[in-house]
Structure 1
Amino acid sequence: MFFKQLFNPGTSSTLVESAFSDVSRMLHQSEEMLHHSLAVLLENSKLAVDLEDMDDNVDEAERRVRRTILQHLAVNPKQDLVASLVLVSMVQDAERIGDFARGLVELVKLARSPREGPFADELGAIADRLRPLFGVCERAFRLADVKEARRVIVAHRELRKELKAYRNRVAASDLSADMAVVYSSAAQILRRIGAHLANIASTVVQPYDRIRHHDDDV
């Protein structure tokens, strides 16, 4: 596979190891942000962490990877060139996940009542199936594991269908306008988070020009 040729575990360069460590930290941080955001949005809990500070950490990790790659290519422009392009793609998706995770909390400002009932419960159940994909995604690129990468992509396809159907039910419901916007927007954010995880996973199974294309035969 293309990815394993570039990032063979145990033989990767210092650049790759440093970037992988940063992407791993970004995913861990974003997963924690998602956990706290969902608690506020769907369980009506008080925010227990500083999401802005956590998101700043994710953003700084992205900048660090970009700087490291730029410095590396400035000295060795022919070494790890394709790997560097792949890493930039990965870190961009990881950064966007953090943005979306933080954005869930902003939806609370639109709600004029607590989030409860079947629509809140259903969205929470879907989110519970999304959360484990963070760990699967990390294992996929850390170990160049094609099977784990495909798990993320397939799971994203399934969740995407569920979230589309969920939004259609919200649109057809008698929910108040504010709650319909909150639930529909939250579903869209969860879909985008899943898409970015699938994008990262696609680097393991796709050649560079097909990254972010989740083909049916991956």
Structure 2
Amino acid sequence: MIREILSVFKANTLMDRAFQRSYDMLDLTYKMYLQAKEVLRNTEHTELEFDISDEDIEVNKYQREVRKDVFNHLVLTDGEQLSSGLVLVSIVIDIERIGDFTKNIVEIAQSHPQRLHGGKFEDDLLRIEDAVDDNFKRTIDVFKTSDEVAARKLIKEYKWVPRVSDKILMDLVKQTDPSITSGSAAALALYFRALKRINAHLRNVTTSVVNPFHRIGFKPKKKKNG
């Protein structure tokens, strides 16, 4: 689907600008995510290199600009490339939600200023963090290059993240690790949920590379032979 959009954008300034803004949103939310994770997991303070609220406002501004440019394009062209416009609007909604969950991670860090450790769940937490990190970088790459082969491969990976996250959330509720304080347990539960949702929204963005609008967020249909 993204290849189709790119072919349209080459001849249209409004849509080209909208697409570039979606790039900017992805890059910005990735920067926000890395900083939020660093403060929560590797420091004993809550000081960020930038104001997360200002960055969140910037993401929201980009989203509005994309909507406006897509709408104006559709008005000027009598609805031509409607599906392309809908895909872009859908994508930026997912990216904006990633920004929201990143902001949530910062709020967790502010309420839990000590370095957050996963206790008996630390190995699983590191595994999920690595998965989200890799998913983020590869999603940005396949989105910018519209690489359908790489996108299909990425979609098949990290499907285990929701399952592992949900199991750990239930274990936290059951207090299976008595060494974890109630405050840390709450922080971990919120953090696991944020990672799970970021992973899901990244997957939605990746599916837009290979799927038509009505199948964004779902696994691609298998290509029929012949």
TM-score bracket, shorter-length normalisation: 0.7 to 0.9
Q: Is the 8 A contact 2:32 2:102 kept in 1?
A: yes
Q: What is the correspondence of 1:1-218 to structure 2 with a 5 Å cutoff?
A: 2-8=1-7, 11=10, 13-44=12-43, 45=45, 46-111=47-112, 113-116=114-117, 118=119, 119-120=121-122, 122-171=124-173, 172-174=176-178, 175-214=180-219
CA gap of 1:180–1:60, structure 2 versus 1, over 3 A, is same
Aligned-residue offset at 1:167: 2.6
CA gap of 1:85–1:216, structure 2 versus 1, over 3 A, is closer
CA gap of 1:216–1:122, structure 2 versus 1, over 3 A, is farther
Aligned residue type for 1:160: P
Shift >6 Å, 4+ stretches: none
Q: Separation in 1 of the partners of 2:73 and 2:113?
A: 51
Query: Could you give the per-residue CA deviations for residues 121-175 of structure 1, whole angstroms, max 9, x where no partner exists?
Result: 6424421331232231122222221122224322341322332333344332222
Q: Is the 8 A contact 2:41 2:116 kept in 1?
A: yes
Q: Is the 8 A contact 2:40 2:105 kept in 1?
A: yes
Alpha-carbon RMSD across the aligned residues, in angstroms, is: 2.5
Q: Is the 8 A contact 1:93 1:200 kept in 2?
A: yes
Q: Is the 8 A contact 1:156 1:195 kept in 2?
A: no
Q: Is the 8 A contact 1:150 1:205 kept in 2?
A: yes
TM-score, with length taken from structure 2? 0.84
Aligned-residue offset at 1:16: 3.6
Q: Which runs of 5+ in 1 are unaligned?
A: none
Q: Mean alpha-carbon deviation: is it higher for 14-23 or for 88-97?
A: 14-23
Q: Separation in 2 of the partners of 1:188 and 1:62?
A: 24
Aligned residue type for 1:200: V
Aligned-residue offset at 1:17: 2.5
TM-score, with length taken from structure 1? 0.87
Aligned-residue offset at 1:6: 3.8
Q: Mean alpha-carbon deviation: is it higher for 174-183 or for 144-153?
A: 144-153
Query: Could you give the per-residue CA deviations for residues 87-124 of structure 1, whole angstroms, max 9, x where no partner exists?
Result: 10011111111111111011134437542364456424
Q: Which runs of 5+ in 2 are unaligned?
A: none
Q: Separation in 2 of the partners of 1:16 and 1:94?
A: 18
Q: Separation in 2 of the partners of 1:185 and 1:127?
A: 14
Q: Is the 8 A contact 2:70 2:85 kept in 1?
A: yes
Aligned-residue offset at 1:182: 0.5
**Aligned-residue identity in percent:** 28
Count of aligned pairs: 217
Q: Is the 8 A contact 1:93 1:197 kept in 2?
A: yes
